[in-house]
Amino acid sequence: MLKKSPIGIFDSGFGGLEVFREIVKLLPEYDYIYLGDTARAPYGARAQAEIYKFTEQAVDFLFKQDCALIISACNTASSEALRKIQQNYLIKNYPDKRVLGVVIPAAESAAELTKNKKIGVIATQGTVASESFIRELKKIDKNIEVYQMACPLLVPLIETGKENSKEMELALEECLKPLIEKHIDTLILGCTHYGLLSDKIRDITGKGIKIVSEGKIVAEKLKDYLKRHREIEEKISKNSLIEFLTTDLTEKFQKLGSVFFGCEIEVKKVDI
C-alpha cells in the first residue's frame, strides 16, 4: 500500500502561519506539519549562506517527517535559497519530492493586476537584496518597472505587539511614500508578516493601488499545483491533522502564532 504523507509548511517564524491559515481554509482535508525556525529568526538581515543552510536544515527535517511536499512560506528563504534547493539539493537527496515558494505566486498575481506596469515591493532586506521579485516579474513581462523598499522595522514591531502603534504608522509611511511617488498601481507585500498590516497599508496607499498579500494567492496556487500533479497529490494523507512545531518554544510564539493562524494553537519544540 502507498504510504501517505503530510504537507510541510516552513517559515523562519510566525508570518508563514497567515499563509498556512489560508491554505488550511482552502484545502482542509490534507494533513500538515508547520515548522517555525523561531530560534534563528528573523532571517531578513542574515547572510545568504546562513539563510541557505537554515532552509536546507528545515527542508531536511520536514522530509524526514515524511512530508511529500514543502511550501517555503518565508520570502527571505524563497528568495535566497529556494532555487539552489530545487536545482541541487532535491535532485541529490529527494528527487521525488518538491519544495515550492511564495515569491513566484505573488509575482504572477501582481503581473496580472498591474495596468501601468509599475509594481512596488515592500520586504525584508534579504528579499530586496536578492532581487527575486524583480527577476520573476521581468521574466513575466520585461516592460514591468519594479520599485523595492526594504522595511526592517515592520517585523520587529509586529513581533513586539506594536502593530497598532504610532511607531508602526510612521514606519509604514516611510516605506510606502517613496513607492507611491513612483506612481505604482500594484503593491506586493513581500513578507508574510505584512498581511497583518493590510488595512493599515490600504489607509496609506488609498484604493487606487492594488495590494497583493500572499496568503490566498499561495493557497490557490497550491490547489492548482496539486490538481496538475496527481503523482504528488496521491501521496498526501487526508485526515485534517495539523501539527505545529518550533525550534524555540516561547510564550511569544504561542501568543503570536495564534494571532497569525486565527485561532488558538498548540506548539511543540523540536531541534533541527
**What CATH number did the domain enclosing 227 receive?**
3.40.50.1860
Domain range holding 248?
7-101+216-269
Query: Residues 111-170: pLDDT tens digits?
Result: 999 999 999 999 999 899 999 999 999 999 999 999 999 999 998 898 888 999 999 999
Question: Do 80 and 206 belong to one domain?
Answer: no
pLDDT in tens, 48-74: 999 999 999 999 999 999 999 999 999
Domain end point (choices 214, 233, 250): 214
Q: Return the higher-pLDDT residue of 4 and 88.
A: 88
User: How far is 103 from 72, CA to CA, in rounded Å?
Assistant: 10
Residue 132: which of 58, 88, 81 has the closest Cα? 81
**Contact yes or no for 37/50 (Cβ under 8 A):** no
User: Which set of grid coordinates corresponds to residue 9?
Assistant: 509548511
Predicted structure pTM score: 0.91
Catalytic residue among 67, 74, 151, 175: 74
**191 given a catalytic annotation:** yes
| 263 in active site | no
Sheet holding 7-11, edge to edge: 98-100, 69-72, 7-11, 32-36, 242-246, 267-269
Residue 7: per-residue pLDDT: 98
Same domain as 232, residue 183:
no
- How many domains in the chain? 2
Whether 77 and 208 map to the same domain: the answer is no
Residue of 151, 175, 191, 263 with catalytic role: 191
Q: What is the pLDDT of residue 3?
A: 62
